[in-house]
Structure 1
Amino acid sequence: PTLEARESTLNQVVEKTGAVVVHPYNNPLVIAGQGTASLELLRDVPDLDAVIAPVGGGGLLSGTTICAKNLKPDLQVIGAEPTMADDAMRSLREGRIIPSVNPCTIADGLLTSLGSITFAVLSAYNTTILTTSEENIVRAMQLIWERMKIIAEPSSAVALAIILEHSGYFRENFSRVGIILSGGNVDLQNLPFAPAKPA
């Protein structure tokens, strides 16, 4: 279904049942809650130069930005987005929300477009967004699985993929970078990489 169809169905349910809608990313309380990931990270590792978080609808990145910039104003906060679904980067560059049109990426959790609140937050903080290839997303996912022993979905692995894609930029500008891994929704029967074979 399309976004419009989902919203229409949601409005019908709200009207019929009186349900309360809590938007998954374009909601101040959700953004504040998602910002606690960077709060925990900076409490554990306070001397970071940069923090990277994935961006789809922008809730996690907005919360990360608000929290990190208020705790450590000089910290660079970077959004990670697939090149094949780069609507957040284009939106911030153009100064208006540019909806995602037929994005095609393995990082399916990042297919949503920025909301009005998340766009305003990321614009106000002049948040940087970098993009990465599908190949580096898969490579990052595999590295996280094999080296860190963490089940991370492609949408989560985008944060590490940004470092792989832009390694020179990170080497030149930062000495300590934190990444926020956010999700492990994976079909184990349909991995985008071949599992390592025992030696």
Structure 2
Amino acid sequence: MLTLDKIYHASYVLKDVIRQTHIVKASAITDDCEVYLKPENLQITGSFKVRGSGYKISQLSEEEKERGVIACSAGNHAQGVALAATKYGIKSLICLPDGAPISKVEATKGYGAEVCMVKGVYDDAYNEALRLRDEKNLTFIHPFDDENVIAGQGTIGLEILNEMPDVDAVVAAIGGGGLLSGVALAIKSLNPNIKVYGVQAEGAPSMYESVKQGKIVSLDKVSTIADGIQVKEPGEHTFEYISKYVDDIVTVSDDEIASAILKLIETQKMIAEGAGAAPLAAVMYNKLPVKGKKVVCIVSGGNIDVTILNRVIKRGLIMSGRQQTLCIQLQDKPGQLLAVSKIIADHGANVISVHHERAGEGTDVTAAYLRIILETRNFEHVNEISKALKSAGFKLV
């Protein structure tokens, strides 16, 4: 069984391996509670994963180090293993799902690992890694279901309590559960009054379903923009620790995650990947009972692919009422576009795209449709513009 002593030992061993990530107060997130961030997106390799893999590799025997290590990952664990293995002069082979962001694949190679791309998701990469482990006689470094890995991740819990002993609640994302297991065990062992919450993506709720049903559940498929927590089946150790130490688990949608990523960029100047923004999404959308509390959200990683970031920002703008598409039915006569434009301008919105087309079969022969994409302040602003257009006699479709 994992003990608090082992987490303290991991903290000592990792002292010269990891970067100190100090808690940041995050204003302008919500008025309901005091939000603080533990910015593991600023960690070496851009994720907390270097803690678990670093401690695990430090504890290998000389014989195991000589044979080399193998791991599987959606990306962040891969980079942690690659960096730690290179630091100890060990060769590493990493199996990645073929859907992993290009930035994570290239970074893994850059840290000195050999990379093997596997068709499918994390679980498919895991199966291939086990096959190659046996074939090449390598030591497998599990991304979450290993007590040394969990101990390494648990050092985050110690750091939070050292820096903010009066914290009321800590929120972390769950993929396989290694991060939350370690953090929850550390925090609950030192102060059982502090609440610890887990967050999963709606499209990959394996731990959520497992805890609810009281047994490990394997999902048929998973789909979420938060690739770092896209796991079909949680681990045995992590299921046990989370069932014992975590107060509650909630889920958030991809749209809510996108909004949280955008909020972090705009208010904190901080880049988070989907998994890293999930805890903030749970707080922003009132999924947790933390009103009036001091809450630390662990921003677990920042390794988001720039092409995905572009799409996520657009999704976040739409979700927060910052970008809106209006389709307006007009009479096909001069001056209509001018009248619409004037109303929009008078209300302080910015037009970024206009598409005008004459009506098709089955509609008034003199009608036309105007599709306009606007930059707006919020949903209240959108409603204000819509109301003004309707008052002027325009029909919104």
- TM-score, length basis structure 2: 0.46
- Distance in 1, matches of 2:166 and 2:195, equals 12
- Contact 1:100–1:111 (CA under 8 A) maintained in structure 2: no
**1:59 matched residue in structure 2:** 178
1:154 aligned to which of 268, 274, 295: 274
1:108-143 deviation digits (Å, cap 9, x = unpaired): 111112101101111122541011122211111111
Name which structure has the greater RCO, CA cutoff 8 Å, separation 6+.
Answer: 1
Deviation at 1:64, TM superposition (A): 0.9
- Distance in 2, matches of 1:59 and 1:36, equals 12
2:257 aligned to which of 111, 129, 137: 137
Task: Classify the secondary structure of the residue corresponding to 1:193.
Answer: helix
- Contact 1:87–1:98 (CA under 8 A) maintained in structure 2: yes
Indicate the structure (1 or 2) with the bigger Cα radius of gyration: 2
More helix by share: 1
List runs of 5+ in structure 2 lacking aligned partners.
1-118, 323-374, 376-397
Give 1:1-199 correspondences, 5 Å limit: 1-2=119-120, 5-112=124-231, 113-166=233-286, 169-171=289-291, 174-191=292-309, 192-194=312-314
Q: CA, structure 1 residues 4+70, in 2 after alignment: closer, same or farther (shift >3 Å)?
A: closer
**2:63 matched residue in structure 1:** none
**Aligned-pair Cα RMSD in Å:** 2.1
- Distance in 2, matches of 1:88 and 1:104, equals 15
Aligned residue identity for 1:187: D
Deviation at 1:87, TM superposition (A): 1.7
More strand by share: 2
- Distance in 1, matches of 2:159 and 2:196, equals 15
Deviation at 1:4, TM superposition (A): 6.2
Aligned residue identity for 2:303: N
Q: CA, structure 1 residues 132+190, in 2 after alignment: closer, same or farther (shift >3 Å)?
A: closer
- Contact 1:38–1:180 (CA under 8 A) maintained in structure 2: no
- Distance in 1, matches of 2:285 and 2:203, equals 14
Deviation at 1:9, TM superposition (A): 2.7
Give the total of aligned pairs: 195
- Contact 2:167–2:296 (CA under 8 A) maintained in structure 1: yes
Q: CA, structure 1 residues 72+193, in 2 after alignment: closer, same or farther (shift >3 Å)?
A: same
Deviation at 1:103, TM superposition (A): 1.6
List runs of 5+ in structure 1 lacking aligned partners.
none
Identity of aligned residues (%): 34
Deviation at 1:186, TM superposition (A): 1.2
- Contact 1:38–1:64 (CA under 8 A) maintained in structure 2: yes
Deviation at 1:60, TM superposition (A): 0.3
- Contact 2:273–2:303 (CA under 8 A) maintained in structure 1: yes
Aligned residue identity for 1:103: V
Deviation at 1:177, TM superposition (A): 0.7
- Distance in 1, matches of 2:213 and 2:234, equals 13
**2:30 matched residue in structure 1:** none
1:61-118 deviation digits (Å, cap 9, x = unpaired): 1011101101211111000111222121110010111113222211111111210110
